[in-house]
């Protein structure tokens, strides 16, 4: 086990390494060096990357206490489900009521990869590839359908 400080340091190193990995590839591809993530332009809708001791996931979170708005956004995305799965090249997991580690309830649509561990450096390169590959597809999908998703929210 790691001390609290060691775990924090490893998490920081992981995300710093991912920023370097991402920046090189995105700039080379002529894209901004940063991901959209929480700068979607739609209040309550964020693109998410997460990794813990067991798995990594890339997806979309709908974060609002206003259940009507949350449900409306979820339904909009659900109407694009087939297209989203085509872009992602696999089916995603859809959870209207996903409970995060901190106890917060969100709606989440995601893809996960088991066996990736933020505290195991040997899995980092695979986690970076997983995140990059899937977040690139999520951004592509989001940018294509942003106006449709945003309409009426």
pLDDT digit string, tens, across residues 107-151: 999 999 999 999 999 999 999 999 999 999 999 999 999 999 998
pLDDT digit string, tens, across residues 42-75: 989 999 999 999 999 999 999 999 999 999 999 9
Confidence of residue 34 (pLDDT cuts 50, 70, 90): confident
Percent of all residues in the chain with a pLDDT value above 90, rounded to a whole number:
83
Q: Which residue carries 């339904």 as its tokens?
A: 75
Number of domain units in the chain: 1
Domain that holds residue 124: 4-150
Whether 20 and 12 have beta carbons less than 8 Å apart is answered as no
Whether 105 and 97 have beta carbons less than 8 Å apart is answered as yes
Residue 20: both structure tokens together = 């370097």
């Amino acid at each position: 086990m790691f001390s609290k400080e060691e775990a924090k340091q490893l998490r920081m190193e992981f995300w710093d390494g991912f920023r370097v990995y991402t920046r090189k590839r995105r700039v080379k591809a002529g894209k901004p060096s940063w991901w959209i993530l929480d700068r979607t332009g739609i209040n309550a809708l964020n693109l998410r990357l997460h990794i813990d001791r067991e798995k990594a996931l890339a997806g979309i979170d709908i974060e609002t206490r206003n259940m009507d708005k949350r449900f409306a956004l979820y339904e909009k995305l659900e109407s694009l489900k087939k297209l989203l799965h085509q872009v992602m090249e696999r089916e995603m997991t859809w959870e209207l009521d996903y409970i995060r580690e901190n106890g917060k309830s969100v709606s989440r649509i995601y893809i996960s990869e088991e066996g990736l561990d933020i505290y195991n450096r040997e899995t980092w390169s695979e986690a970076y590839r997983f995140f990059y590959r899937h977040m690139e597809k999520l951004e592509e999908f989001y940018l294509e359908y942003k106006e449709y998703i945003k309409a009426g929210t």
